[in-house]
A and B are shown apart, each in its own frame.
Chain A
Amino acid sequence: MKKNQIDRVWRWQITASAAAALLIACLLGVGFGPVNLNFGSIIRTLLGLPNGLESEDRTLLLELRLPRVVLGALVGAALATSGAVYQSVFRNPLADPYLLGVASGAGLGATIAITNGGGDLHALLPIFAFLGGVLAVAATFLVAGRLFADPSTLLLAGIAVGSFATAFQTYLQQRNSAALRPVYSWILGELTVANWDVVKWAGFYILIALAVLIRISKVLDALMLSDEEAYSLGVSPQKIRMIAVAAATLATATAVSASGLIGFVGIVVPHLVRGLTKRATNRSLLSIAFVGAAFLVIADLGARTLLSPAELPIGVITAFVGAPFFLFVLRARNRGSQ
């Protein structure tokens, strides 16, 4: 620290490190599996240089592993960033991206697709899940009445809408017990459906939402203060909250419909980045997106390889690894602040 000056709140080097972590995670993600690929060959193939992978290995990389890794990175970035944004908007460190009923709504949508459709509707599962998620959030806002008049009313409305959707989902499952297994498998999250088509549509919505969130990330810091202070600094807190929640909901609903319910990323990653950098600012949002992406790519690598050739649901890995690590960071941070 220079004399008579406080430390910088944020340094670009932190963001650069997070980006590097994501690159390494992606390389590991495409390199390892039941068949291991050579890293040099992977890089040459991706850059279109001579002496890259050939025949089956090339197909394995470009048509199976790469779309899966890209989808994992997109979903991880979406969940982690949305979690961080919800935590700021609701001024609640325990807020997670599934808070406003999006998860239960998506779960209900997916269950409707699975129980009613047989083979035909199953292909439309992501669309049903997406619609279910968005409708549930819309219902939450409708129940809560005046937009953001009181964030805690919105949270409670989210719980009510979520419970209603879950109850309805359980009812459908009970009436159609054959659907139990596919529904639960979806609820635990899976990236096995990844192909370039899924990556394209999910990427489209997630990247739009993330671009909006990163763009407003600096102003989001105003929500750390009281509404009056935010206003005195030239920010309209209501407007920022609305944009932030809309974009975070779009990202979450897309992530859920592409990969099921992957828990824990939205809480662990923001706290991890904030804990390690000792910074609360939302200028960390881009880093949180990178780390969330890296986290899910590595978790998926574990899901694919730990019980190979069988696959573990990725949600099991994120919770299994995430929970103890999270507790460790929490303890370390609390010790630091005492």
Chain B
Amino acid sequence: MINIENLSVRFDNAEVLQSINLDIPEGTWSCLVGPNGAGKTTLLRTMLGMQPYSGSIKYNDREIAKNKSLNIAFVPQRPSIPAAMSVAEYVMLGRAKLDGWGKESAHSRNIVHEMLEATQLLGMQSQLVNTLSGGEMQRVLIARALVQEPEVMLLDEPTSALDLHHQIAVLNKVEEIKSTGVTIVSTMHDITLGAMYAERIIIMQSGRVLLDGESHSVIHSPELRSAFDDRISVHLLENGRPVIIAAKRATG
């Protein structure tokens, strides 16, 4: 269980996160949505413990700022892609927290092999990461996070650089990870996709949480439209699934 209480974050003089309260149950997938600048990525970075904050963020009653042993994985929106590093070497870095830096146990090499297989990267392990396509790199990032065997996985726009086919492949993989008991918190621009996979949606605007609840109810809420200045519209497909699209404003 992740409990966030009265969380605020300041950059210089601006308050970028304001009085956030959230309870995120273990083994669930929560998706942060909101317009650019709403504070989604800052919230993820703060949940990682990287950002000084006031208030509290507890993972099973352990405060994140005081507990370096928590195993939280992060999948960045803009990865750092080193030159001349192979896929296997890159993914292996994820074992550093468990093995110690510079060590590589036989067990770790097994796990890396297993995760490369699970992310359909086996056979590409010698390829250099700076030669990969966007979809392949995204799978490498997820494999690297997975070999960390995290309790919590934070994903910043995991599908933003991908075509539709690869979006689904990556999200299915994340869903599989969730089913093993890992708590997932992601940001996603595509609210339709977010609602399809995450059981909870948290709407953010200007550093605040506007609404937080079960995906289907949140999607039909007026708060969602207001977060996007009424520039979206929600449609239902024949199977009852909601689709959210940008609404064209009447001109003149």
Contact = CB atoms under 8 A, between A and B. Distances in A.
Interface of A: 4-10, 91, 93, 217-219, 221-222, 224-229, 231-235, 274-275, 278-281, 283, 333, 337-338
Interface of B: 45, 48-50, 68, 72-74, 76, 78-80, 82-86, 88-90, 92-94, 96-97, 101-102, 104, 106, 109-110, 112-114, 116, 125-128, 131, 144-145, 148, 150, 156
Contacts of A280: 82-86, 89
B110 A224 contact: no
B116 A228 contact: no
Given A93-B83, A233-B148, A278-B86, A228 B102 contact: no
Q: Is the interface of A mostly helix, strand, loop or mixed?
A: loop
A227 B45 CA distance: 10
Given A228-B76, A274-B84, A337-B127, A9 B92 contact: yes
Contacts of B80: 91, 224-226, 229
A136 to B, nearest CB: 27
Contact of A229 (B49, B74, B113, B114): B74
Nearest to A237: B50
A9 B103 CA distance: 9
Contacts of A4: 110, 113-114
Contact of A231 (B50, B88, B109, B125): B50
Contacts of A283: 102
A233 B110 contact: no
B160 to A, nearest CB: 14
Contact of B112 (A6, A93, A274, A337): A6
A6 B74 contact: no
A226 B83 contact: no
Contacts of B86: 278-280
A6 B96 contact: no
B237 to A, nearest CB: 36
Nearest to A4: B113
B10 to A, nearest CB: 16
Given A222-B93, A231-B50, A333-B84, 17 more contacts: A7-B125, A93-B84, A217-B102, A218-B102, A222-B101, A225-B79, A226-B79, A227-B50, A228-B45, A228-B76, A229-B74, A229-B76, A233-B97, A233-B148, A235-B101, A283-B102, A337-B127
Contacts of B50: 227-228, 231
Contacts of B85: 224, 280-281
22 contacts: A4-B110, A4-B114, A6-B88, A6-B109, A7-B109, A8-B104, A9-B89, A93-B84, A217-B102, A222-B93, A226-B76, A226-B79, A229-B80, A231-B48, A232-B150, A233-B148, A234-B68, A234-B96, A275-B84, A278-B86, A278-B126, A280-B86
